[in-house]
């Protein structure tokens, strides 16, 4: 039985190879990261702050929504911000604090994309714990 379970983790529910999905992500990773940060920064959140630096971490979890089949990559990132000049956050010491976050990417119709969603104060591991039991872990960096 464990052999069958192991084989089932090689493929998504749609029959797509997990290895193929990961390689596609790795191939487009730099562009995906740039797009994610650009979209997230343009949304104006957190208010009063400008996105100044991001350091992509080696931690990630690849999951599949068991009800929809949507494949999602949760990728760890450390984010730094600066206060908007003249803004209300300019005197706040915590602005310079590096923040843990998880960037969210989706694989649909044979390609990866991003809506710029970033889960603040969460590692990929804590993100998967918070989204519940509707997801099956396909692969992870651990």
| Structure confidence at residue 1 (pLDDT) | 39
pLDDT of residue 12: 65
Residue 56: give the domain boundaries: 13-140
The pTM of this model reads 0.86
Q: What is the pLDDT of residues 5-20, one digit of tens each?
A: 443 457 666 667 888 9
**Cα 37 from Cα 43, distance rounded (Å):** 10
The CA-CA-CA angle for residues 140, 133, 26, to 5°, reads 25
pLDDT (tens digit, 9 = 90+) per residue, 33-82?
A: 999 999 999 998 788 888 899 999 999 999 999 999 999 999 999 999 98
Mean per-residue pLDDT of the chain: 87
Residue that wins the pLDDT comparison between 108 and 93? 108
In a domain, 4, yes or no: no
Q: 62 lies in a domain?
A: yes
Q: How many domains does the chain have?
A: 1
Residue 8 within a domain: no
């Amino acid at each position: 039985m464990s052999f069958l379970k192991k084989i089932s983790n090689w493929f998504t529910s749609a029959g797509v190879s997990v290895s193929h999905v990961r390689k596609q992500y790795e191939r487009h990773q730099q562009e995906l990261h740039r797009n994610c940060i650009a979209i997230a920064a343009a949304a104006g959140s957190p208010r009063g702050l400008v996105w100044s630096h991001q350091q992509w971490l080696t931690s990630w979890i690849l999951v599949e929504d068991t009800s929809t089949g949507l494949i999602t990559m949760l990728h760890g990132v450390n984010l730094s911000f600066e206060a908007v000049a003249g803004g209300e956050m300019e005197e706040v010491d915590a602005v310079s604090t590096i923040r843990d976050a998880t960037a969210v990417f989706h694989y649909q119709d044979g390609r990866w994309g991003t809506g710029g969603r970033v889960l603040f104060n969460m590692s990929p591991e804590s993100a998967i714990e918070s989204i519940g039991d509707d997801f099956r872990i396909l692969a992870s960096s651990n």
